[in-house]
Amino acid sequence: MSTDTLEFRRMTLADVPAVIRVEQEVYEFPWTARIFSDCIRVGYQCWLAQNGAGIVGHAVISVTAGESHMLNLSIAQRFQRRGYGSRFIEFLVEQARANEAETMLLEVRPSNTAAINCYNAAGFSEIGSRKDYYPATNGREDALLFARHIPPLNDALGRSAT
């Protein structure tokens, strides 16, 4: 697999140590190994993106009752700003669509302008905020709430869903 190729696979418990290394590299307040392990155990969709150089990033989404929630999306620093995040988002949206989700939601720190730009480019729109959502060095930071409509597969292919 070349470094330009991006492949996706389900995260396993054995992957958690490598996932934690990426998580700690990119976040001041990273998720813990226990959080990732619990997400795998309860059946959330936990994914890895890989290329010939190794793990590019990881993501966790939940899908239930027609709605998907992107709980975590992390791209290793050395792979950022290469379009991998956008490709990973599109993959996650397709996974949500395959599970009949009509909307994908996510939260993002207002200070994370790179992620906000990526989400806007991927068709997400800001729909609100959540007060004191994230831990911060001096207390708490609000989250911006973003959403993206996911048309049914037939609509996405330009055909009628009926």
CATH number of 7-156: 3.40.630.30
- Give the pair of three-digit tokens for residue 74: 């992390």
Catalytic residue, from 44, 84, 119, 134: name it: 119
What pLDDT does 162 receive?
A: 44
Q: What percent of the chain has pLDDT over 90?
A: 80
Three-state DSSP at 90 gives helix
Mean pLDDT of the chain: 91
Catalytic residue, from 107, 126, 133, 141: name it: 107
Give the integer Cα–Cα distance in Å for 81 and 119: 13
Kindly list the distances between the CA atom of residue 147 and the CA atoms of 4, 37, 105, 158, in Å, as whole numbers in the listed order.
29, 26, 4, 22
Q: Is 25 one of the catalytic residues?
A: no
Taking CA 134 as the corner, what is the angle to CA 133 and CA 137, rounded to the nearest 5 degrees? 140
Give the integer Cα–Cα distance in Å for 146 and 71: 12
- Give the pair of three-digit tokens for residue 114: 């790179």
- Report whether pLDDT(2) > 80: no
Q: What is the DSSP string of 23-89?
A: HHHH-SSPPPHHHHHHHHHHT-EEEEEEETTEEEEEEEEEEETTEEEEEEEEE-GGGTTSSHHHHHH
Domain ranges within the chain, ordered by starting residue: 7-156
pLDDT band at 160 (very low <50, low <70, confident <90, very high): very low
Q: Is 23 one of the catalytic residues?
A: no
Q: Say if CB 48 and CB 58 are below 8 A apart.
A: yes
- Report whether pLDDT(156) > 80: no
pTM of the model: 0.89
Kindly list the distances between the CA atom of residue 98 and the CA atoms of 2, 40, 66, 68, 141, in Å, as whole numbers in the listed order.
27, 19, 11, 11, 33
